[in-house]
Structure 1
Amino acid sequence: MKSRSLQSKLFFAYISLACLILFSFAVFFYAFVSRQLKQSQISAMNTLNSSFQTQVDSAIRNLDAVSVNINYSNQSKTILDNSFNLNISSDMLSAMSDLFISLSGTELKADQVNLYDFSGYVLEAGISTIVKKTDGSKDEWIEAARELEGKKVLTPPYCTREYTKTATYDQWFISLYRSFNNQYKRGVGVIETAKQCKSVFKSIITYKKKNHEDAASIYVFDSNGDLIYPYDISQEYKAALQPYYELTKGDDSALTFISPLTGKTEYAAEAVSSYTGYTYLTIQPESVVLAPVYNLLRILAAIVALFLTVSIFISYRLSRSVVKPVKHLKHIIQRMELDTLGQEKVTAYPVSVNELEELYQAFQLMSDNLKDSMEQLTQAKEQELRARSMALQTQINPHFYYNTLSSIIVLAENGDSQTVVKMCRNLSQIMRYITSTAETTVTLKDELDYVQKYLYCMKVRYQSSLNYSIDVDERLLSQPVPKLIIQPIVENAIRYGSDCAPPWNISVTSIVTHGSWQIEVSDTGPGFTEEAKERITANIMKAIQNPGLPELKINGLGTVNVYLRWKIFCKGDIIFRYGNNTDGHGVVSIGRYFQNKEDTETV
């Protein structure tokens, strides 16, 4: 992750805080106001629906009242004869026309009243007044009213020129049909009362004209789901509006949905008339409902931009006032070297923060104290490294001493005095090599000579069961190594490599590459198990994380001991591997990378 400067972090922190506050306020404002506007708009649309429903229901009730009055009027039954024959005389037409007009009233509750008999004639009164033969276009509604036996039948809006005096343009009507009974309560005809759609839907039309583009969309559906308003549109457009009716089948009177026409969010209010069965749907796009919010948001955005500009300026000044003294102190630190510790004094620098002034004083004190302790620290570090190396080496001495004594005891028990003498002579040289503390670093040649004597002692002990070989490149013999660094690896190879049927073979070889050299100790035993490798790795990691001497048993040297001594000697630049070769036998390699070009050329 790319790091950033302190000033940029402080600057962005201040700006982020300001943005968070402003953004939270804007979100709260938008959510609160939009909810209030939505509720207000839904309430207004419900009021509109109620108004439209009341006016339309009133117009339909007037049509219904006229048909009921005609049906129960004794005068109409007196004018008509018992056979209900409408094609009799012009006097009967005039009398019935006057009767219909009087029953419709001065307000003209019905624009047209038609009385049909069952022999194919109709008596028309109102816009058109005539007795004529029917053309069969209304037989469907006549039959429906006849079957309902006195109940009303409402038609959808229909377009006709039949009642237009000039016959130059069509007009839209809605008709109400009801069966007509004679004085014997027997159905002898059908009454039709009709009114122009512009009168039935007058309140909706007036609302649309008054509000123009801001007006909500008003749709009215009958109980069958057919669109009856707007009535003067094409069948294709009516089919496109049909999905709106499907949206009204829920339980909510206020709806929010995606428009099937525009694909945008819309709000709707629904009302259903229990008298006509009409469903009134008032729809308003979200963009219109929330238009005042959007206008306020534009003003708010300008205010937020102004506040952000001011916040940016203040944040920059605040962050700069904090960071500038720190940068000054950084330049002083960059110029500082070990040789100049304590010599350069921190000059007085005006700061506005107490903590920064204390930082200056603390740095000056640190510089003075650091110079005094640097030399002591360097010497202590060197002594620590020497002490740790000596301590790790001394852990080896008792271990090898006891193992060698065990071998001599076995030889003495077998009565091989000559070999005992030779073993004791070798042991004397080995112990002299081990116990000499004058130096902890030897050449690889000296270490391998010691390993040679050690392997001889082990060969005498195990006889023909043990074979060994040492084949190391002569160019490596002058390489410096810690004393007793190879022998523990060889001892472990013998210990774990003999965990199988003899003979056991131990080999010490060297590998030299362009940039490194290695000493490799291998055996012919069963090799490292996965558990052993995991345990060694865990112990090494534990030793790395917890510097100090590892816990080792006196009768066994650990791989961790060798690793730590080699790492201390090489200061971390080492090669140290353990595992199994392709044949499944154990192999341990120890080495290092060449430190410079001269070492590479020498080897």
Structure 2
Amino acid sequence: MFRKPSSIRSILFLTYSSIIVAGIAIIFALFYLWSSNQLKMQAFNAISELSASLQKQLDLEVQKLDSVSVSILYSNLISDRIVEYETLASEGASPSPDEPNMNPLRKPQTDLYDILVALVGPSYPVQQVYLHLFSGLSIGVGLDNSQKELEVGEQLWYDEVMRDKKKKVLMLTQSGSGAANATNNASLSLFRYFSDKYDAPRGIAEVKQSYNKVFGGFTQLARNNPSLEQVLVYTNSGEILYPYSHSEQDLLTVQGLLSAGSGVSFDKRFYLDDPETNDKLLLTLKHSELTDWNLAVMISNKALLAPLNHFTRLALLVTLVILAFLIVLSYFASKKITSPLNALNRTIKSMNLESVVSGPAAELNSGLNEWDRLHASFVKMNARLKDSFDQLLLARTQEMQAKMTALQSQMNPHFLYNSLATISAMAYERMHDEIIAMCDNLSDMMRYIADDEDGPVDIRTEISYTETYLGCMKLRYGDMLVSAMELDSSLRQIQIPKIIIQPLVENALKYGTKTSPPWQISVRGKIADNRWIVEVEDNGPGFDEHELASFYEQVRDIERTQVLPALRLHGMGLLNVYIRLRLHYGSQMHFQIRNLPGRGAVVSIGGPLLAKG
């Protein structure tokens, strides 16, 4: 495959540009990686601190609930008042839920309410306290100051509380009317089993706090941090406590975190794929020993890197401007280095024989020592080549002249021999008038051959000589020979080698007469592909394939050895024409032999257009 060679300037320019681009790209990539890693570390530290703060707030709210529940468990006053309260209730002294004002409260009842109100406190550290008694009564103090009948064993939280009576149970509950998932009606309830001072079971204490108060800090945090993607609070069983209205994707995220098991470490940074946004989420986990809850804080990787990406785009724009400036500098630097070489190249191209032999030696003055020394060495080389070049030029001229003379000398006796043979045949047939005309034509032809034999002639003169030769042949063969000349008028001033067409006509006549007459010979001249073309056609038997193979074998031997064949009078017509065309025109020559379908052959020759100057 042909490959176009590269210039030194382009190689230097591409090398400098590649180094600049690669260097800037590497620096940019390292800067981006370092900056993004720093941002992620800072974001991780920030959300770690944020997670710790949220966990602390959540634990503090749960501790408030737990403190109130513990106070109820260990209060002998409450235990005693419950016994008295239940006794009065069994005697029918407790107010009816439908008629709360029919029977006024007695002192044990008011004492119990007072104690519970004191636990709730005037500042309402908790929203509500319920005492769910195993006797079937439920006493409420807080926002709901009521007494009602309640089957404790049928409640959802009963089994879990009774499973381990020493532990607290945390659960989200709903109260009041409205949508089932409305956070305004949601509360966080803490349940504890309690007994009296004699360890007799009395019931279950429930301490409630509003959901919005417990998780209010989470909501405010989401408003203050738009880049915060998600905050999840969930239990080890997979129940999501925050946000209250969670999505299916949140459930899948929690299940993924729980299924990871030991692969997910608390207080460490890791990434989570978000299939909805095709983004990665930076996530940290906290675990509360107080509540046994897990806190997951997530931030979007895109949101985290948004400031860096914005800065990177600005920096990239500035870098591209700087890069363009550096590339322009590299172009001028490569041009500065290669310009002297181009000047030297132009000097070499403009040199001819006259400038090499006697032309002045121009100075380069490139400003670069290496190029100036190279130019000086080239000038000295030209001086040393002066004599050798003259001698070589003279030798080549003499060699060319000798070859042309040798070829021409082959044609002269060859033509004369054939002409004498024709006159002899005509004398044998007693064609006296024809012999006289033949001798006159032969005299004209010999003068044409002897006159300025080394120079080219215009094609019109060569055609005239060929017609004279055909006239001689018609004197011998009469009507058996038919010839035609078709010459394009644009060819008349074209210069061609001397005696280049007549040998082809002679060859056609030699082989054409081997068949029965009439013998037809036509000569056509035209211009094609910016070359002159002359075709000689006959209606003879055509060329034998073995003879053509032998002819082309001789051509290859001559071109390989550059040695002319020995002078012979037979069989040199076509080969002589070929060699002279080759010497005159080199690779621009045209020479073709082909047999026609049926019978006949065509020999076609040509060369570049050289008008008479």
Normalising by structure 1, what TM-score? 0.59
Contact kept, 8 Å, 2:21 with 2:323, in 1: the verdict is: yes
SS in 2 for 1:351: coil
- How far the C-alpha of 1:56 sits from its partner, in A, is 0.6
Structure 2 letter corresponding to 1:196: S
* Greater mean deviation of Cα atoms: 337-346 or 33-42: 337-346
- How far the C-alpha of 1:339 sits from its partner, in A, is 7.4
Q: Are 2:110 and 1:108 equivalent residues in the alignment?
A: no
1:380–1:30 Cα change, 3 Å: farther
1:84–1:237 Cα change, 3 Å: farther
Residue aligning to 2:218 = 204
Structure 2 letter corresponding to 1:111: Q
1:260–1:196 Cα change, 3 Å: farther
Residue aligning to 1:32 = 34
Listed as ranges, the gaps of 5+ residues in structure 1 are 382-474, 476-509, 520-565, 573-592
Residue aligning to 2:209 = 195
Distance 2:353 2:288 in 1: 96
What RMSD, in angstroms, separates the aligned Cα atoms of the two structures? 3.9
1:263 pairs with 264, 278, 294, which one?
A: 278
Structure 1 letter corresponding to 2:112: M
SS in 2 for 1:224: coil
1:598–1:58 Cα change, 3 Å: closer
Residues 295-306 of structure 1 correspond to what in structure 2 (within 5 A)?
295-306=310-321
Q: Are 2:163 and 1:147 equivalent residues in the alignment?
A: yes
Distance 2:67 2:16 in 1: 76
Q: Are 2:112 and 1:96 equivalent residues in the alignment?
A: yes
Distance 1:516 1:257 in 2: 86
| 1:309-345 CA-partner distances (Å, limit 9, x unpaired) | 3213322322222222222222222233567644444
Distance 1:154 1:348 in 2: 99
| 1:343-397 CA-partner distances (Å, limit 9, x unpaired) | 444422331211111121122223333444457889999xxxxxxxxxxxxxxxx
Distance 1:137 1:240 in 2: 33
Residue aligning to 1:291 = 306
Residue aligning to 1:222 = 235
Residues 373-388 of structure 1 correspond to what in structure 2 (within 5 A)?
373=388
- How far the C-alpha of 1:212 sits from its partner, in A, is 4.8
* Greater mean deviation of Cα atoms: 132-141 or 250-259: 132-141
- Considering only CA atoms, is the larger Rg found in Structure 1 or Structure 2? 2
- How far the C-alpha of 1:45 sits from its partner, in A, is 0.7
- How far the C-alpha of 1:143 sits from its partner, in A, is 2.5
Distance 2:547 2:212 in 1: 108
1:69–1:358 Cα change, 3 Å: same
Residue aligning to 1:454 = none
Residue aligning to 2:329 = 314
Residue aligning to 2:467 = none
Contact kept, 8 Å, 2:130 with 2:140, in 1: the verdict is: yes
Contact kept, 8 Å, 1:97 with 1:126, in 2: the verdict is: no
Residue aligning to 1:179 = 193
- How far the C-alpha of 1:78 sits from its partner, in A, is 1.0
- How far the C-alpha of 1:125 sits from its partner, in A, is 1.1
Structure 1 letter corresponding to 2:234: F
Residue aligning to 1:47 = 49
1:296–1:137 Cα change, 3 Å: farther
Distance 1:380 1:138 in 2: 128
1:245 pairs with 243, 257, 262, which one?
A: 257
Residue aligning to 2:59 = 57
Contact kept, 8 Å, 1:145 with 1:178, in 2: the verdict is: yes
Listed as ranges, the gaps of 5+ residues in structure 2 are 95-104, 397-506, 508-544, 563-577, 583-588, 595-602, 604-613
Contact kept, 8 Å, 1:142 with 1:177, in 2: the verdict is: no
2:141 pairs with 119, 125, 128, which one?
A: 125
1:49–1:364 Cα change, 3 Å: same
* Greater mean deviation of Cα atoms: 291-300 or 119-128: 291-300
Contact kept, 8 Å, 1:221 with 1:278, in 2: the verdict is: yes
- How far the C-alpha of 1:597 sits from its partner, in A, is 6.3
1:93–1:11 Cα change, 3 Å: farther
Contact kept, 8 Å, 2:80 with 2:196, in 1: the verdict is: no
In the comparison of the two structures, how many residue pairs are matched?
405
Distance 1:29 1:169 in 2: 46
Residues 568-583 of structure 1 correspond to what in structure 2 (within 5 A)?
570=560
SS in 1 for 2:83: coil
Structure 1 letter corresponding to 2:221: Y
1:293–1:568 Cα change, 3 Å: farther
Distance 1:175 1:514 in 2: 114
SS in 1 for 2:316: helix
Distance 1:224 1:75 in 2: 38
- How far the C-alpha of 1:284 sits from its partner, in A, is 1.0
SS in 2 for 1:266: strand
2:294 pairs with 268, 279, 299, which one?
A: 279
Distance 1:222 1:35 in 2: 32
Residue aligning to 1:11 = 13
SS in 1 for 2:209: strand
Contact kept, 8 Å, 1:346 with 1:360, in 2: the verdict is: no
Distance 2:558 2:115 in 1: 127
- How far the C-alpha of 1:276 sits from its partner, in A, is 1.1
- How far the C-alpha of 1:37 sits from its partner, in A, is 1.4
- How far the C-alpha of 1:208 sits from its partner, in A, is 2.3
Residue aligning to 2:343 = 328
Residues 131-530 of structure 1 correspond to what in structure 2 (within 5 A)?
131-134=147-150, 139-155=155-171, 157-161=172-176, 170-209=184-223, 211-231=224-244, 233-234=245-246, 236=248, 238-239=250-251, 241-242=253-254, 245-246=257-258, 249=261, 250-252=263-265, 253-337=268-352, 341-373=356-388
1:86–1:170 Cα change, 3 Å: farther
- How far the C-alpha of 1:70 sits from its partner, in A, is 0.6
Distance 1:86 1:17 in 2: 97
Distance 1:292 1:597 in 2: 75
| 1:517-570 CA-partner distances (Å, limit 9, x unpaired) | 679xxxxxxxxxxxxxxxxxxxxxxxxxxxxxxxxxxxxxxxxxxxxxx99982
| 1:492-525 CA-partner distances (Å, limit 9, x unpaired) | xxxxxxxxxxxxxxxxxx9677798679xxxxxx
Distance 1:163 1:99 in 2: 32
1:513–1:74 Cα change, 3 Å: farther
Normalising by structure 2, what TM-score? 0.58
- How far the C-alpha of 1:268 sits from its partner, in A, is 1.3
- How far the C-alpha of 1:265 sits from its partner, in A, is 1.8
Using the aligned pairs only, state the percent identity.
Answer: 24
Contact kept, 8 Å, 1:244 with 1:260, in 2: the verdict is: no
- How far the C-alpha of 1:129 sits from its partner, in A, is 0.9
- How far the C-alpha of 1:50 sits from its partner, in A, is 0.7
Contact kept, 8 Å, 1:511 with 1:517, in 2: the verdict is: no
